[in-house]
Structure 1
Amino acid sequence: MPELGCTPDVVSYNILLKGFCNDNRAEEALELLQRMPELGCTANVVSYSILLKGFCNDNRAEEALELQHMMANDQGRHCRPDVVSYNTVINGFFTEGQVDKAYNLFLEMMDRGIQPNVVTYTTVIDVLCKAQMVDRANGVF
């Protein structure tokens, strides 16, 4: 694109990030995400959420959580995690059977002032019930 005089924007990069992740190449997506500033583009929350989903799809929820914490601790506040980011990693931990980690992330989300949505609540309640933690699920409800 640059050779043809067309500067890629964040949407262009996000499509490429998604392509890498869909092809189970999250490492390459992460490298591209980290290079975006030197390529003249600032990643946004969608860019990070694509990578979070890529890690979770590869059963790497712990790495997704590290990336999410990096977003949350961004001093410039350019790219803070949102409800979609949290839902993605919460679901990743649930998929890996790490119910307590997912539930703790749900609590962290609220502590950080991010309002859960119907997807968050439904996911958390469903998995807690399946894990026979009905009292905890009722508390979330």
Structure 2
Amino acid sequence: MTDTPPDTDPIARYRAVLEALDPRLRIASKLRAVFPLIEAQIDSGVPHAAVLDDLKAAGLPVQTSTYTTTLYRWRKAKRQAADETDQPRASVAEPSGSPTTKPSSPPLPAIQGRPNGIQTPGDLRKIRDMRIDLDALRREGLANRAKTSQDTKTQNDKE
């Protein structure tokens, strides 16, 4: 028997997760199931090569290219899911008369993610990924027109 308990042995944890899965699943699907464990190891400083060796010992031989591609896609999906929960869309209407009333927050801008200026290729990517709420943009335009017409009336009254 080993000196370390099975819950600290990464190979045993990988095996436990993999045994619970359907053996007909693709390698990428099996990898996605163990990625939370892999992320914990990587965060603690374990190199990717050691993780690949542990996966092989657990019964899941994975090519490096499959591992890196699947890890990249998994992290990207995780990041996008986190972004969506952090930035609620302004176009989602809440039912009127809802029993739980939230304190009113300032309305979200019609265009979210707008860079201040274009100085790097990253700024161009931000423009590509902007979220535009057409209803909010229309409301902003109407408010600006109303304000402009009031300012014009005020100036005409002064003259």
Query: TM-score w.r.t. structure 1 length?
Result: 0.28
Which protein is bigger by CA-based radius of gyration?
A: 2
More helix by share: 1
